[in-house]
Structure 1
C-alpha cells in the first residue's frame, strides 16, 4: 500500500516549521521528511513526532553553507573532514528521531572542476558514510538531482547513480528515486523504476515541469503508483513539491487517488 510522507520543507509553509507537524497529521499524513533538522534540538522534534503520531522517514546530511549556494559536501575534495563530521551529526539526529535513512547530497561543482577528482572523493566519502550508518542499521541514500533546478550538481543522471552504487559496494547505500528529477533528466519513468527497483530506498514525487502538485503536469502518477505496488514497494513516497496555493486545499489529489483520508 502506498504511504505518503509530507515534505515539511515544501508543504504547509502557511505555518512556522514546528507547527507543520500538526498540520501534516491533521491532513492525514503519517510520515514526514524535510531537508534539515539541525536548527532544532532533537528532543523538540522527537516530541512533535510523538505528539502527532508521525514517523520521521528521511532528512539530509548537513549540506555545507546552504546560504552561499552549497548543496552537499560528499563529492568536494578538501572537505573530507567536514563531511565526516556531518555524517556523525546526521546519525546523532537519526538515532534521536528514529529515522531509518539519511541522504548525502553530492554537491555543486565549480566551473573548472576536475570531475575525476570529485568522483574519487565521492566514492570514498560514501563508503565511509555507508559504513558508519550501517553500525546503527540505517541506510544512506544518494539522489540524482536535475541540473535545471540545481546547475552544476555532481549527480544528475540515473545511470551515474547506479554506477556509483555498484562502485561503492555497500549494501545499505541505496537510491533516492525522485520521479520529478528523473523525468526532467532521463524520462522513461516506468522502465527506470523497473530496472532500478532493487536499489530504491525511497521515492519522491512532484508535478513536472513546475514542481507543483503531482496531478498537474506531464506525469501520470496513478499509473506509477500502480506499478510501484505491483513491484512490491513498501516504503514511503515523499511529497516534495511546491503547492500552487494553500497546501491543504491542494491535497485534493491525494484524496482523489485514495491515498489520503477524505
Structure 2
C-alpha cells in the first residue's frame, strides 16, 4: 500500500496553516508536505509537526513572489543570486525540519526569452542547488507542470525533465512526478512511472478534470496504486488536490483503499 502525505497547502485549508498538521494526523495521515514553510519560523513548523506526530517529507525552494504570480525563478538568468539565497534558506529549514527532499519549481519562461539562455540558467542553478543540498544530505527534485494551469511554465514534460537532469549530471537530482500534471500533458502514466522509477523520488496526485480528489475524474487510481506497489515504488505520494467540498468529506477514497 502506498504511503500518502497530505499536502497542507491544498488540504485542511479550513484551518490556519500551523493547525493543519494536527488536522492531518486526526484524518489518519502520518506524513505531510506543503509548498513553502517560510512564512513561519522553522521552530514553529517543527513544533507543529512534532506535536501532531507527523513526518514532513517535502517542501519547495523559495519560488519568487508567489502572490504576484511567479512560479519559480530557477530558469531566470537575472535572478541567480536570489536563487542561491533561496537554496541557503531552504537548507536552513529542511535541516531544522528533518526534510530530506526539496523541490525546485523552474518558473515561467518570459515572453520572447531565448530558450537556450533560460536552459543554461536552469542547468547552472540546478547544479549549484544539487551540490549544496547534497552536502547536507538533502535530495533536489524538479517537477514538470502542465501549461494549461500555468501557461508558460518552462518545465512541462517528463522527457524534457530527464534530458535536463542528464545535462546537469548530478547524482543528487531526481524527478518529482505529478500524476495530474502529466495526465494533462502526456498521459502514459503507468508506463512512464515504471520506465523511470529509479529516477523518481516523489509522486503527487489529483484527479482530472478539476484537480479534485481521486475518484472524481478519469484517472484509474485503484489501478495506479496497485501498479506502484507492483513495480516497487517505496516513496510517498503527496495528495496535492483541491477537495471538491471539504477535505474531510473528500477523504472517502483513502478510507476505501
* Structure 2 CA distance for aligned equivalents of residues 116 and 205 of structure 1: 31
Output the TM-score relative to the length of structure 1: 0.97
* Structure 2 CA distance for aligned equivalents of residues 194 and 208 of structure 1: 21
- For residues 59-102 of structure 1, give each alpha carbon's deviation from its aligned partner in whole angstroms, at most 9, with x where no partner exists: 11111111221111111011110000000000100000000100
Any residues of structure 2 matched to 1:136-155 within 5 Å, and which? Answer: 136-155=136-155
Corresponding residue of 2:164: 164
Corresponding residue of 1:236: 236
Output the TM-score relative to the length of structure 2: 0.99
Corresponding residue of 1:76: 76
Asked whether 1:205 is paired with 2:205, we answer yes
- For residues 205-248 of structure 1, give each alpha carbon's deviation from its aligned partner in whole angstroms, at most 9, with x where no partner exists: 00111100111101001111111111111110000000011111
Corresponding residue of 1:221: 221
Matched residue SS, 2:5: strand
Asked whether 1:91 is paired with 2:87, we answer no
Query: Shift of residue 54 of structure 1?
Result: 0.5
Corresponding residue of 2:184: 184
Corresponding residue of 1:255: 255
Matched residue SS, 2:211: coil
Query: Shift of residue 140 of structure 1?
Result: 0.3
Matched residue SS, 2:187: coil
* Structure 1 CA distance for aligned equivalents of residues 84 and 47 of structure 2: 28
Matched residue SS, 1:247: coil
- For residues 139-168 of structure 1, give each alpha carbon's deviation from its aligned partner in whole angstroms, at most 9, with x where no partner exists: 000000000000000000111001011111
Corresponding residue of 1:67: 67
Query: Shift of residue 44 of structure 1?
Result: 0.6
* Structure 2 CA distance for aligned equivalents of residues 224 and 246 of structure 1: 24
Query: Shift of residue 109 of structure 1?
Result: 1.2
* Structure 2 CA distance for aligned equivalents of residues 186 and 92 of structure 1: 36
Give the paired residue count. 257
Let me know the Cα RMSD of the aligned residues: 0.7
Any residues of structure 2 matched to 1:8-157 within 5 Å, and which? Answer: 8-157=8-157
Q: Please list every run of 5 or more consecutive structure 2 residues that lacks an aligned counterpart in the other structure.
A: none
Corresponding residue of 1:260: none
Query: Shift of residue 24 of structure 1?
Result: 0.2
